[in-house]
Amino acid sequence: MAPSLSSFKTLRLDGVSRDFGTVNALRDLTLNIERGEFVALLGPSGCGKSTALNCIAGLLPTSRGAIFLDDQRLDILPTEERGFGMVFQNYALFPHMTVRDNIGFGLKMRGVPKAEAAARVEKAIETVRLGTQAHKLPGQLSGGQQQRVAIARAIVVEPPLVLMDEPLSNLDAKLRLEMRQEIRRIHAGLGSITIYVTHDQDEALSLADRIVVLRDGMIRQVGTPEDLYARPAHLDVAEFMGFRNRIPAKLKTRSGDAVAIDVNGVLLQGIAREEFKGDDVIAAIRPDDLFAGETNEGGIPAVVEAMEYRGRDFFGSARAKDGTELFFRAARRHTSGEVVALIADPARLLVYGAAQ
């Protein structure tokens, strides 16, 4: 019997692992997710995020570990008995069925009485705001509308978990922004858990209550969007969260988390995010927080290589004297070959050990 939406409290992953031959695609994934939470699995291609989702869904068997919904063990159940809703990136709609029939297909397969199924389908159609499109075939809909149908089909079965595997990757930038708002709105009204796989940090930050960053099949950090954005615990997490600048430096002094580092003879202040082995360190900072000033203002001297305008500000790339490429923000357009001083916000300059 499928788990009930009305009664569950916690999804628990205990040491979930998945091997493909000698390759450990997922290693000891341990995580608790509470009812009502929206959790994003974030990381680059091959990090294990889709493997984790497929193990939860039952599309892949686990090699080790267990999955529980409260006290009910799920990983020993067939996929169809887990009762989850899943949204794929390719929509997977039946092209010969109307919107209404696509949404109701899962209820029909479960043997839900016709009157109840019809009422639930209409409620799902209303939730995803497709009332005027319900009679159409998928081929008559836009990409965003097709994705709404896929979401409605997933939620109409009233699942305890909604699993989404990069559902917005096939949409253009404007539609992605619109659908983010819709997905968050729909989640808020369900009361279920949503687990959302993405490689896009902006999606994860805007949608999730908590973000799980994966690398090589292992959890690197779990935290709120605010935690992950401002305080990534490891250099690889920082790079994935938009800390595009990776600056080799020497540690000069440390007092608690406050550090002074030497970058090409320039002394900078920053925040240590871990313990160091030796005085070789890496400073990480977002382009937004590295500002181009005049050479008499201090900062890291660098030669401008390229500039682009992004509305309110200019962004550019420059080369420091040790060859490090630096990405920065500027109030005006600097010319190629111009020397600028790149000034780092000390509160946003995070420092990690060089041995990663």
Strands (E), 286-324: 290-293, 300-309, 314-320
Residue with tokens 């997933």: 154
Max mean pLDDT range (77-86, 149-158, 244-253, 292-301): 244-253
Residue with tokens 């450990």: 24
Confidence tier at 173 by pLDDT (50, 70, 90)? confident
Superfamily of segment(s) 10-235: P-loop containing nucleotide triphosphate hydrolases (3.40.50.300)
The rounded distance, in Å, linking the Cα atoms of 11 and 86 is 16
The DSSP output letter for 133 is G
Question: Class of the 245-353 domain?
Answer: mainly beta
Q: Which of 4-8, 50-54, 131-135, 247-251 has the lowest mean pLDDT?
A: 4-8
The answer to whether the beta carbons of residues 326 and 247 sit under 8 Å apart is yes
Q: Tell me, what's the pLDDT at 18?
A: 97
Asked whether residue 3 carries a pLDDT value surpassing 60, the answer given is no
Cα–Cα separations (whole angstroms), residue 351 to 8, 40, 222, 247, 343: 42, 26, 19, 9, 16
Q: Tell me, what's the pLDDT at 324?
A: 96
Q: Tell me, what's the pLDDT at 244?
A: 94
Q: Tell me, what's the pLDDT at 312?
A: 86
Asked whether residue 356 carries a pLDDT value surpassing 70, the answer given is no
Q: What are phi and psi of 10, to 5 degrees?
A: -140, 135
pLDDT tens digits, one per residue of 29-81:
999 999 999 999 999 989 999 999 999 999 999 999 999 999 999 999 998 88
Quote the mean pLDDT of the chain: 91
The rounded distance, in Å, linking the Cα atoms of 263 and 249 is 5
| Sequence-separated (6 or more) residues with CB below 8 Å from residue 10 | 32, 33, 34, 35, 68, 69, 70
Q: Tell me, what's the pLDDT at 296?
A: 64
Residue type, 99: V
The rounded distance, in Å, linking the Cα atoms of 169 and 160 is 24
Q: What is the pTM of this model?
A: 0.88
Asked whether residue 6 carries a pLDDT value surpassing 60, the answer given is no
**Helix residue ranges, H only, the chain:** 49-57, 79-82, 99-109, 114-127, 143-155, 173-190, 201-207, 225-230, 235-240
Query: Which residues are bridge partners to 251 per DSSP?
Result: 261
Q: What is the dihedral of CA 61, 65, 71, 75, to 10 degrees?
A: 0
% of the chain surpassing 90 pLDDT: 70
Structure tokens that stand for 44 in this block: 């680059």
The DSSP output letter for 211 is E
Residue range 264-283: average pLDDT? 93
Kindly list the domain boundaries of the chain, sorted by start residue.
10-235, 245-353
Residue range 226-232: average pLDDT? 95
The answer to whether the beta carbons of residues 273 and 349 sit under 8 Å apart is no
CA 301 to chain centre: 34
pLDDT tens digits, one per residue of 280-317:
999 999 999 999 987 666 799 999 999 999 888 999 99
Please report how the helices 143-155 and 173-190 are oriented relative to each other, as an axis angle in degrees rounded to 10.
20
